[in-house]
Amino acid sequence: MKQVAGLFQDVIAGIGNNTNCLMIGKILSYNNDNTATVEPMHCIPKQNKPYNPLICVPIGFFSLGGYSIKVKPSKGDLILLMFTDYDIDNLLIDGKSKKPNTDRTHALEDCIAIPLSINFLNNAFNATEDLVITKEGTNAYVKIKNNGDIILNSDRILLGENADKRILKEGTYSENTYIPEICKKVYGE
């Protein structure tokens, strides 16, 4: 009887070890078709070997209610890897519902990358009630405050995609160098 119970435990453990749901991954390279080569940051269960990199993983982006935040991922970015219940080969062709191409379930090949900051790994937890969009390595950010106010912070702000005019912060010029000052006025050049 113990052998039968042990057999069932091994079968259940095997099923669980082969069911991929979510993993943390690191981007190794990014492709212009919005896919990436991603290294899973986990080892294969019971083998203690790293997974091979996953290639051509589609990268998702935040898009809801007609609004989108699109960012090109960088090498080394940590992301969440989500493994779909079924094969996504046919779905990726045109985005329409159809029968899966294979019987795969939760397979490594059917992965989608969700680009989220993994704050618990980088100790950069700065929760806020406002929506803040920042660019790492700069002082630039856009903040939409909880009350609806919008704050733009950058050394250079342009009006429009192909603008040749800048938005200036009130300040002073010294020998053709603009010295911004803390103020409440912003105006177009």
pLDDT at 14: 55
What does the pLDDT read at residue 8? 58
Which pLDDT belongs to residue 160?
74
Instruction: Extract the runs of DSSP E, i.e. beta strands, from the chain.
Output: 22-31, 35-40, 43-44, 49-50, 54-58, 62-64, 67-69, 78-83, 111-114, 131-134, 141-144, 150-153, 157-158, 166-169, 171-174, 177-180, 186-188
Q: For position 165, what pLDDT does the model report?
A: 67
Task: Output the tens digit of pLDDT for each of the chain's 189 residues.
Answer: 677 666 656 655 555 556 778 889 999 999 988 899 999 998 888 888 999 999 999 998 877 776 677 778 889 988 999 988 777 777 666 767 777 777 787 777 888 888 876 555 555 545 566 777 877 788 888 888 878 888 888 887 777 777 776 666 665 555 566 555 544 455 444
Contact yes or no for 109/129 (Cβ under 8 A): no
pLDDT of amino acid 183: 45
Query: What CA–CA distance (Å, rounded) separates 129 from 145?
Result: 8
Domain 21-122 top-level CATH class:
mainly beta
Domain residue spans of the chain:
21-122, 131-188
pLDDT of the residue at 182: 46
Kindly give, in sequence order, each residue whose CB lies less than 8 Å from that of residue 75, ignoring residues fewer than 6 positions away. Answer: 27, 28, 29, 30
Cα distances (Å, whole numbers) of residue 159 to 97, 152, 166, 187: 41, 12, 6, 10
